[in-house]
Amino acid sequence: MVEAWIVGGAIGYLLGSIPTGLWIGMWRGGEDIRTSGSGRTGATNTFRALGLRWSVTVLALDAVKGAAPILIVMAVWDSPTAEVVAGLAAVVGHQLPLFAGFRGGRGAATALGGVLAVMPMGALFALATGIPILLRVRVMSLASLTGATSAAVGMSLLAVYGGAPDAYAVFAVGTWALVLLGHRDNVERIASGTERVLSMGRSEP
């Protein structure tokens, strides 16, 4: 199964490295969205730079980047561990993309896609807690961290008590740790009360 781990990890990292937000920004108007807002390539900064429609597009594509390598591994090998390696590698690829000078996004959407692929209930945990936070306080980073935490707890419990593969608990904790690392500057701003609030009235370009 070492082959599955290596190939799965490579597929995950390369797919995760596709900088969807950056490329869409360049296509839409020659704009590197990393020069504005948070300097990241994810859906939130795309929202600030390009508006809701393109933000949703980037969100969906980034989630696909997390799910696709896992589904490929599932189709070829029977190895939950290889699935986990592929999924974690996709998140790392999104955060440190080979195709964008290793300056990417924070990893939440890609992690969500991976969670959806291995355990849909985990994605439900994330959305059920993250969306209310976003609607209530309009702080995307807090919503992402809340969703990642609830998914990690829920998936770990399902792995321990619900018969899911133990590797999925590792995936849950691993994605949570990567998302937390990706949001470390946000955590500091949340603690100091200076985190950015999304303006839901952002007009389309």
Whether 202 is in a domain gets the answer no
Q: How many domains does the chain have?
A: 1
Whether 50 is in a domain gets the answer yes
pTM for the predicted model, two decimal places: 0.92
Give residue-wise pLDDT tens across range 140-190.
Answer: 999 999 999 999 999 999 988 888 888 999 999 999 999 999 999 999 999
Whether 65 is in a domain gets the answer yes
Whether 198 is in a domain gets the answer no
Whether 159 is in a domain gets the answer yes
The whole-angstrom distance between residue 100's C-alpha and the CA centroid of its chain comes to: 17
Closest CA to 86 of 172, 155, 176, 10: 10
**Phi and psi at residue 52, in whole multiples of 5°?**
-65, -45
Of residues 203 and 11, the one with the higher pLDDT is: 11
Q: Is it the case that residue 200 has pLDDT exceeding 80?
A: no
Of residues 54 and 30, the one with the higher pLDDT is: 54
What is the reported pLDDT for 201?
52
Residue 75's Cβ-count burial label (10 Å; 0-12, 13-18, 19+) is exposed
Q: Which domain holds residue 26?
A: 2-192
Q: Is it the case that residue 204 has pLDDT exceeding 70?
A: no
CA distance linking residue 148 with residue 38, whole number of Å: 20
Query: How many helices (H) and strands (E) in the chain?
Result: 10, 0
Structure tokens at 49: 């730079």
Give residue-wise pLDDT tens across range 79-97.
Answer: 999 999 999 999 999 999 9
Give residue-wise pLDDT tens across range 110-133.
Answer: 999 999 999 999 999 999 999 999
Whether 136 is in a domain gets the answer yes
